[in-house]
Amino acid sequence: MNIKVTAVFPPIPTTNFDYCAVDDDTYDASYEGEDENGSHWKVSPSGSGATELDAVLSLLDSLDVCAACCDAVKDLWPDLEAVNECVARCLDAQCGAPEPQTENYWGIERDV
């Protein structure tokens, strides 16, 4: 995991998209040709936000990082090296966050 945050500042009246975050190790944008709906681009997950932290949290949301690790990232910010390590552990399912329970107290299966 190698999160990179870029200041974009698009010429629009809102600041909600001023920063963009991507995993620099896996980010890829490639043109897949045209189909009946027009051009088709394949793009890796990214996040955007009004601040660098918002953009990183948006990226983590698109990568399905658990809530506990997202909270840890807020505490680790702005140390990107520590953030990258935390997210990599989470994506490898080594973060120690509790697994969602699939059965209730009486042992009856339920949807999560």
Q: Answer yes or no: is 60 within a domain.
A: yes
Please list, residue by residue across 50-77, b when 16 or more beta carbons sit within 10 angstroms of its beta carbon and e when fewer do.
Answer: eebbbbbbbbbeebebbeebbebbeebe
User: Per the domain annotation, does 104 fall within a domain?
Assistant: no
**What per-residue confidence (pLDDT) applies to 101?**
46
Report if residue 98 sits inside a domain: no
Q: How far apart are CA 23 and CA 19, in angstroms?
A: 14
Is residue 100 domain-resident?
Answer: no
Looking at the chain, the number of H-run helices and the number of E-run strands are 3, 5
- The answer to the question of residue 70 being in a domain is yes
Strand 29-35 and strand 38-43: the pairing is: antiparallel
**CB-based burial of residue 23 (10 Å sphere; 0-12 exposed, 13-18 middle, 19+ buried)?**
buried
List, for residues 70-108, the tens digit of each pLDDT value: 888 888 888 888 888 888 888 887 665 555 444 444 555
Look up residue 86 and give its two tokens: 């935390």
Distance of CA 108 to the CA centre of its chain: 33
* Domains of the chain: total: 1
Residue 51 banded pLDDT, cuts 50, 70, 90: very high
Of the pLDDT bands very low, low, confident and very high (cuts 50, 70, 90), residue 15 is confident
What pLDDT does residue 98 have? 53
Considering the domain boundaries, does residue 97 fall inside one?
A: no
35 vs 80 pLDDT, higher one: 80
Q: Is the predicted pLDDT of residue 55 greater than 50, yes or no?
A: yes
61 found inside a domain: yes
In which domain, by residue range, is 50 found?
Answer: 3-91
Average confidence (pLDDT) over 5-29: 87
pLDDT above 70 for 24: yes
Q: DSSP code of 101?
A: P
Instruction: Report yes or no on 37 lying in a domain.
Output: yes
